Each structure stands twice: as C-alpha cells, then as structure tokens.
Structure 1
Amino acid sequence: MRDKLSCDHIPVRIEPTDFSGVFLMVPEPFHDDRGLFTRTFDAAIFDEHLGRPGAAAEFAQDSQSRSHRGVVRGMHGRAGRGEAKLVRCARGAVHDVLVDIRPESPTFGRHRSFLLDDNDFHHLYIPPGFLHGFQALTETADMCYRIDRPHDPAEDISVAFTDPDLAIAWPHPVTIVSPRDAAAGTWKELLATLG
C-alpha cells in the first residue's frame, strides 16, 4: 500500500537571509498517524537556487558533532578560498551564529543568529567567507555539516566566541569550550590578516 503522499511531492522551500549568498532550505514535513516524513536535502532545488547545475555534487565531506547544553563551538572559518557548508541540527536545538568576513560585503563584520532544531529541519547554507559557531540549547544537540572540500587544519582560522568587538549574545551560560576555542584570536587580529 502506498503512502498518502508520494515522496516526490515533499516540498523544500528556499528562504533568503540578509547576508548575500546565505539561505535557509526549509522542508515542509508530511505528518500522519505514524509521525512525519521530510526531505532533508534536494539537490535539484539546491542547484536551481545557486544557478549552477551540479553544485550539490561539489560537497566533499559530511561530519556530525554532538554537544551538551551550553557548549559553544566557534567561531570557526577557513583561510584561502574558504569553504561552503550546509548545516542542520539533526537532534535537539542550537543557536547558530554567522559572522561575515568578506571585506567587500556590505554586511562585513556583522553577525546573525538562526535557530536550528529537529522540529523545523531547517538547513543553513553558508558560502565561503563566514565565521560559524553555535551553542547547544538542549541536553544533547547533534549538528550535521556538509562541506565542499576536505578539511585542512592548516587553513583553520578562529575568533574568540567572547570577542567584545563581535559582541555575540549567547543565550545561555557557556558550559564547555575546547582548548582551541578558548585560545582563539581576536576580531582585530583577524582583520589584520584579511587586509
């Protein structure tokens, strides 16, 4: 017996943001007595939005992290040509934050936050040229990352999640950070390398 709704008709909507190139992929789950079904990614819609056939095939690595409530991971970026990523919260909820580090951008130096959770299934597409970080809002939060090129630790850049020039408001007291994030540089130090 077939499901009431064909899997081919599960819509995924694109919502632009006020950062050029950043957008949310918003699935519309199908609910019935069993629970729900949703499409978490659609390459054709992704490619069409970017205007580049085969853009979805450029992703090279998928990763997943698990964090406990209050943990902050960030703010991370990549030197060189940067990296594009598609992130989502597969379990729990996170306060996800981007900082625009593209010197030519009208939103350069600004940050914006997004709620990503396992209720709405939103995916956030982040093009090259951003710092990214998040705080776990639930007891456990699993973040999934799809990245367009293999990770190279030599290209890692980071700015302290507490940097006063960025003034990011984290919604909960921070519980744990990695030694790397605790030793991250400042926004002023990053600016000197971008110039």
Structure 2
Amino acid sequence: MSRRYDSRTTIFSPEGRLYQVEYAMEAIGNAGAAIGILARDGVILVGEKKVTSKLLQTSRSTEKMYKIDDHLACAVAGIMSDANILINTARVQAQRYTFSYQEPMPVEQLVQSLCDTKQGYTQFGGLRPFGVSFLFAGWDKNYGFQLYMSDPSGNYSGWKAAAIGSGFPESLIMMAPGASWMETYNSAHLRSKDHVPLEQLLD
C-alpha cells in the first residue's frame, strides 16, 4: 500500500522507495523482451515485437531497434512514446557533438548524457519518470564494442550480456552458462538464437 507516497515523484516512502520509479519499471516488465550480447568483434541485439491484438497493423510504431548514429544503436522496452522522445534527444546530441568535434560522440558519453536527462525526471515535482529501458550497442575508438543497459531511474552500467522487458531475469539466467566476452560475433549470434529462445521468455 503506497499510502499516498506515490502522489509526487520526489516523495520517498518510509522504506526509502520511490513508487513513481517502480511504476515505470512495471511498464517495462510488460513490454516485449530485448536481449544484448557483447562479443569480441561485435554486439548482438535481439528484440521481440509484442503484438497485443491480431487486429493491430504492424508498423514502424512497433519497432524495437533504433539507429542513433552510425556507430550506435539501441533496443527499447517500455512506453514507446517516452522512448521516441529520448531517442530523438540522443540523435540531436550525437549530431551536435559530431558537428563540433568532427568525430563521433563516444558511446558512454552519449549514454551518460541521456541517463542524466532520465534522472532529472525523477528529481523534480510535476514530472514523471520515463517508463522505458534501453540496451545501447555501439563502438568507439576508446573502448571498442560496448553494451550498456539503462533503467527509468537514470542508472546505467556496462554488460557482457543483458536483457530488458518481460521475462528478463529468466533470460539472464539462460544466457549465463558458457557466456564469454572472448566469443566471436558469429558464436554469440548462434547462442542468442539457440540458447535464449524468445518464446521461453513469454508468459
């Protein structure tokens, strides 16, 4: 029972919980699954389009993968309208950096900048957290291939294998055996299909 501690974004419950952030997490848990695997020579992103009705026309509005820049893409899970705003913000930031410095924006710098925006929406009254999580896959000259995951709180971290959306705890358990950052793109791609079937992640 929230006891009105969820009436504002910035009110903590006696247990130290921010209910508005937890509600945003629940929106992600009901979304289609997305999986990322970091390999030695590439990054795999796999997404599930979760169609809620046979009458729904599949279109670009149900996409799970988005290109942010030539060196960076992402998979999303959650409220798509929130995702569209953040993706457009990331694209603008990437292009501004390229225009200013004549080189692609470092992957982690772009992820951190976007997560700062997400965190701000958990800190000020009159706003609500973005109900979307991201898997970022990219490459830059500093750290090579990288995989990051972010949540509605604005927290982000680097991963060798990560999952968001429905059934993500189970998918992480399924990916753990035999996972190695030394594997190649081809072997990671086979493992993403053979050992982590998306059908097993559905309710």
Same fold (TM over 0.5): no
TM-score by structure 2 length? 0.26
Normalized per residue, the structure richer in helix is 2
